Structure 1
Amino acid sequence: MSKTYRILLKTILYTISVVLLLSISGYIYLYVLPKGSKITDSIPLKNGKDSFVMYAYKHSKRKSIKVWTYKPKNWKNEDKIVFVMHGGGRNAEEYLGAWIEIAKENNFLIVAPEFANKFSKYTTNDYQEGNLFTFFGVKNPKEEWAYTVVENIFDHIKSVNKITNEHYDIFGHSAGGQFVHRMVMLMPNSRIRTAIAANAGFYTFPNGNLKFPYGFKNTGIDLKSDLQKAYKKRLIILLGELDNDPSLGTFRTTDLAMEQGSYRLERGTNFYNANKELKDKYKLEFNWTIDTVINVGHNYKKMSENAVKWLKNQP
């Protein structure tokens, strides 16, 4: 064995060892070690702005989640509960702030979960892609999906505050819009009444040949039977007329993402039309709507204001 060959072999083995060590360490840090803030006492929500920390999963204490709320003083049991899903900045408190005046005017209880992640610039699977898979591609159990966490928060609020509401509404902008439309498609049995997905960066299309998050190939979702359940939900694809600048926010530019459209307005329109075509093909019930907000771009505050009409006017 030549000296050059031995050096090359050692280099390769060393590189593999380092990569393996980093992968194992990363997996342990992300998915084994406890994450999140300290759990707070389970007490009823205060009027006005408030927050609490709870365990994200019902079967495990490995992860906690902070939840911001705003409760108008006149809000009472059975009045509307609206979940507000933040964008890629994971800025739940700021999103809550955008909804405070809306809450006061319409007597909404606002619930804004904060999916905190130090590595959110590099990993999107844990939030907007629902945590179906780890960063390493390993499938997560459904009880650890990010969508299930929303249902757990709803249960927690109902229990602690003695609330009997059977449904909630949900709004998400940008990365939150990704979260909302995927939750409707992947968890159609959730207790969502009206869902509003605003200005999502890219979508999960009703395509069984594309892997998630672009399609459903590796999810176990049946494009006819499972999506029929999703189509029965009330989903509003809310788009800003001026959201045609891909430089704003985080905009995915992979080949599969670019096939959806060159900017968010185009992608949202194509997503809606693709689902409508599938509905027509199988003659399915379809309660989805597309709405374009005039003279508004990638602005979560203005999109929030324009979402209100869909929450107030429910069938």
Structure 2
Amino acid sequence: MNKWLLMLLFTCASTQAAEHGVKELSPGRLLLKEGEMAVSLGPAPAKIERVLIIIHGRLRNAETYRQSAERAAELAGQSASTLVIAPQFLNETDIALHPVADTVLRWQGNDWMAGGLSTAPFALSSFAALDQIIERVGDHRQFPDVKEIILAGHSGGAQVVQRYALLAREQPALTAAGVKLRYVVANPSSYAYFNEQRPVAFNHAACPGFNRWKYGLTDLPVYASGQTAPQIEGNYVKRDVTYLLGQQDTDPQHPALDKSCEAEAQGAYRLVRGKNFFNYLLRRNPKGVNQRLVEVPGVGHNGDGMLTSPEGQKVLFGQ
């Protein structure tokens, strides 16, 4: 096992949670510059050629998503070369229910979903945490065989991946090492748009936050300091992003669907919101984008179903 994996400090079996907190605390700890990140880590292949970083949704169920990603890798015949890492963005409620070391990073509520700053032990953007994880696994001194990194998420995790792909800082070391970085955005409730255009008519006066971050590019988080809207869009359309949409994710009353006016302005349900956003991208960039939309037949709002589907396997592993 390589040196970086030995830096993961494993605790005992995960503690079961009371309501409103995570059901499981991920047992792994990854040392970042500002603290320890809770993480669920899959088996380490002898030769790691691909790293799949899977982002959980609002339930912060990293273990569940790690297991689904590992199943997808196995079904695709890629488990022998793929390391799966599932960071767990704990919040203050989780920490109150499951006391952990003061060094473990935690956020307020769902602030982690939009790149917000951790509340302890230091102020670290959730996006900066992803920067450090990606930088680490793309370092050929520690992972000499890695050829690609995939950052993927479903539902709330897909919201994280789409927003991170918008604002992510360039990592020239990855390019220099020949490591490809891809993003997979599966069934998010909403997207961040580049301007005030929206596909659905709505009452602007009654929805003043429709273009504020995380739905638009006004009032950006600290992580985005110094970036302008044209720079953000210019960088984003060059990035390798796949929108993976379940054809049955069409329930406008789904209990986990964002029903705020800001999200409703993007469409009635997740499938149409994804199609609307992709069409918006194409209209704004008639010369083309480095992105694609893939639909998954017969699957609704189901993370495991999306990742392990034939379409999901092909998107994740390039089969």
Structure 2 residue 192 is the aligned partner of structure 1 residue 204: yes
In the other structure, the counterpart of 1:184 is 165
Q: CA, structure 1 residues 149+249, in 2 after alignment: closer, same or farther (shift >3 Å)?
A: farther
Q: CA, structure 1 residues 158+169, in 2 after alignment: closer, same or farther (shift >3 Å)?
A: closer
Contact 1:244 1:265 in 2 (8 A): yes
Structure 2 residue 267 is the aligned partner of structure 1 residue 261: yes
Structure 2 residue 41 is the aligned partner of structure 1 residue 76: no
1:241 and 1:298 map into 2 onto residues whose CA distance is 9
Name the amino acid aligned to 1:99. A
Contact 1:157 1:163 in 2 (8 A): yes
Match of 2:142 among 162, 171, 177: 162
2:28 and 2:141 map into 1 onto residues whose CA distance is 13
Match of 1:129 among 107, 114, 137: 114
Displacement of 1:235 in angstroms is 0.4
SS of aligned partner of 2:212: coil
Match of 2:291 among 288, 291, 297: 288
Displacement of 1:41 in angstroms is 6.7
In the other structure, the counterpart of 1:244 is 250
Structure 2 residue 29 is the aligned partner of structure 1 residue 53: yes
Displacement of 1:307 in angstroms is 2.0
SS of aligned partner of 1:89: coil
Contact 1:196 1:307 in 2 (8 A): no
1:258 and 1:181 map into 2 onto residues whose CA distance is 18
1:101 and 1:252 map into 2 onto residues whose CA distance is 28
Q: CA, structure 1 residues 43+67, in 2 after alignment: closer, same or farther (shift >3 Å)?
A: closer
Question: Deviations along 1:222-253, whole A, 9 cap, x unmatched?
Answer: 34333121111110111111101144352222
1:247 and 1:123 map into 2 onto residues whose CA distance is 23
Name the amino acid aligned to 2:184. I
SS of aligned partner of 2:189: coil
In the other structure, the counterpart of 1:194 is 182
1:90 and 1:163 map into 2 onto residues whose CA distance is 27
Q: CA, structure 1 residues 225+41, in 2 after alignment: closer, same or farther (shift >3 Å)?
A: closer
Alignment gaps of 5+ in structure 2: 11-25, 95-107, 175-179, 197-209, 221-225
SS of aligned partner of 1:106: coil
SS of aligned partner of 1:201: coil
1:103 and 1:68 map into 2 onto residues whose CA distance is 16
In the other structure, the counterpart of 1:226 is 232
1:118 and 1:43 map into 2 onto residues whose CA distance is 22
Q: CA, structure 1 residues 169+301, in 2 after alignment: closer, same or farther (shift >3 Å)?
A: same
1:266 and 1:43 map into 2 onto residues whose CA distance is 41
Q: CA, structure 1 residues 177+249, in 2 after alignment: closer, same or farther (shift >3 Å)?
A: farther
What TM-score comes out, normalization by structure 1 length? 0.71
Match of 1:65 among 29, 37, 45: 37
Q: CA RMSD in A?
A: 3.2
Percent identity for Structure 1 against Structure 2: 25
Name the amino acid aligned to 1:182. R
Contact 1:90 1:115 in 2 (8 A): yes
In the other structure, the counterpart of 2:97 is none
2:246 and 2:258 map into 1 onto residues whose CA distance is 18
- Aligned residues between the structures: 254
Question: Deviations along 1:152-175, whole A, 9 cap, x unmatched?
Answer: 123445679921336411110000
Contact 2:194 2:217 in 1 (8 A): yes
1:260 and 1:134 map into 2 onto residues whose CA distance is 29
Contact 1:103 1:109 in 2 (8 A): no
Contact 1:51 1:68 in 2 (8 A): yes
Taking CA–CA contacts closer than 8 Å with sequence separation of 6 or more, which of the two structures ends up with the larger relative contact order?
2
Q: CA, structure 1 residues 157+97, in 2 after alignment: closer, same or farther (shift >3 Å)?
A: same
Name the amino acid aligned to 1:52. G
SS of aligned partner of 1:230: helix
SS of aligned partner of 2:85: strand
Q: CA, structure 1 residues 124+242, in 2 after alignment: closer, same or farther (shift >3 Å)?
A: same
SS of aligned partner of 1:169: strand
Q: CA, structure 1 residues 101+171, in 2 after alignment: closer, same or farther (shift >3 Å)?
A: same
SS of aligned partner of 1:298: coil
In the other structure, the counterpart of 2:218 is 217
What TM-score comes out, normalization by structure 2 length? 0.70
Question: Deviations along 1:102-126, whole A, 9 cap, x unmatched?
Answer: 3333132101001112448x93222
2:129 and 2:303 map into 1 onto residues whose CA distance is 23
2:239 and 2:139 map into 1 onto residues whose CA distance is 25
